[in-house]
Amino acid sequence: MTRHAVLAGIGSTLPERVVTNEMLAQRIDTSDEWIRSRTGIVERRLVEQGTATSDLAVEAGRRALKSAALDRVDAVVLATTTPDHPCPATAPTVASRLGLGTVAAHDVSAVCSGFLYGLATGAGLIAIDQAETLLVIGAEAFSTIIDPDDRGTAPIFGDGAGAVVLRAGRRDEPGALLGMELGSDGELADAIIVPGGGSRQRTSGHPPAPGDQFMKMQGQTVFRNAIVRMTQSCHAVLDRTGWPVETVGLLVGHQANVRILNAVAEDLGLPAERAFVNLDRYGNTAAASIPLALADAAASGAVRAGDRVLLTAFGGGASWGAATLTWPAVDPS
């Protein structure tokens, strides 16, 4: 019988530094009104000098372990776009700093869909008996790849981390990952890209151009594709799970733009109130966005034990996905 992955704990953390829209407008040609009305974002948290992704990942992991009442797990999967170093992966450092010794640990790179790909990886490690329990962490010091003078990206992104504990269990338990739908389209690779620092640039015979260490985004292309792909993957995963859409208690979409979340809810036929929103406070935290949203939703009572939860994300790659689970009785930490 297949061993199922069951969500058994959740935790999150954010940098303390708050950057408001007004603060951004002092540096770049933008306004609080434009950012609020075009994205829904009011403020975001950015790391202080000296804080790297692993620092956030360790704290979120520690809190998720506490929420699950565990002090050990058998593996760590870290979804991030901003590893501490291009090489090696950051997850082994996180595992060590959490006192987990020599457990399996690796990074998953799927930008804003990274946490869903991480859940799939974690479920696979459980299914093949590599792990009885594990951490899936989404953590980003995303501001480290953002050009602070680019008004197309600087208002959008923020930093933070969220983590869940998965344990081996049964499909009919609350918290079991019931369905998953993942996809990608490399034709859209340029829509969200850091041009410099990889083998493509290093074998070009040219040094990186100024600014090529920063992410470039084709906002409108991403916006259009995000709505289509998130809606399609939600339909596919609902079909696979056997849930009529109206039974979904909470849609937890990747927190990029409230207009995207509203459009996906509308296309699915869900009232806007069922789409969880916390991007007003944190902006788009890429791989951290879904676990941060889940932790907030659980803490605020927006999701309760027994509710049907639909997760969906779209991001660089392009990559996207959706997943279903019934919310378990867990207290976020």
Kindly list the catalytic residues: 112, 254, 284
Q: What residues from 309 to 328 belong to the interface with ligand UT7 (CB under 6 A)?
A: 314-315
Is 152 among the residues that bind ligand UT7 (CB under 6 A)? yes
Please choose, out of 122-130, 218-226, 267-275, 301-309, the segment that lies near ligand UT7 by the rule CB under 6 A: 218-226
CA dist., res. 114 & res. 180, Å (int): 13
Among 226, 234, 277, 293, the residue binding ligand UT7 under the rule CB under 6 A is 226
Which of 240, 226, 295 is closest to 59 using CA atoms?
A: 295
Q: What residues from 283 to 312 belong to the interface with ligand UT7 (CB under 6 A)?
A: 284, 286
Among 10, 19, 260, 297, the residue binding ligand UT7 under the rule CB under 6 A is 260
In angstroms, what is the minimal distance from the CB of 314 to ligand UT7?
6
Please check whether residue 60 is in contact with residue 159, taking contact to mean a CB–CB distance below 8 angstroms: no
Query: What residues pair up with 320 in beta bridges, in sequence order?
Result: 183, 314
Is 257 among the residues that bind ligand UT7 (CB under 6 A)? yes
Is 274 among the residues that bind ligand UT7 (CB under 6 A)? no
Helix, strand, coil percent values for the chain (each to nearest 5): 40, 25, 40
CA dist., res. 78 & res. 75, Å (int): 10
- C-alpha angle 75/80/86, rounded to 5°? 100
Which of 321, 285, 36, 26 is closest to 145 using CA atoms?
A: 285
Query: What residues pair up with 104 in beta bridges, in sequence order?
Result: 75
Residue closer to ligand UT7 (CB basis): 168 or 277:
277
Is 195 among the residues that bind ligand UT7 (CB under 6 A)? no
- Judged by the rule CB under 6 A, the positions of this chain that interact with ligand UT7 are 30, 34, 38-39, 112, 151-152, 155-156, 219-220, 222-223, 226, 256-257, 260, 284, 286, 314-315
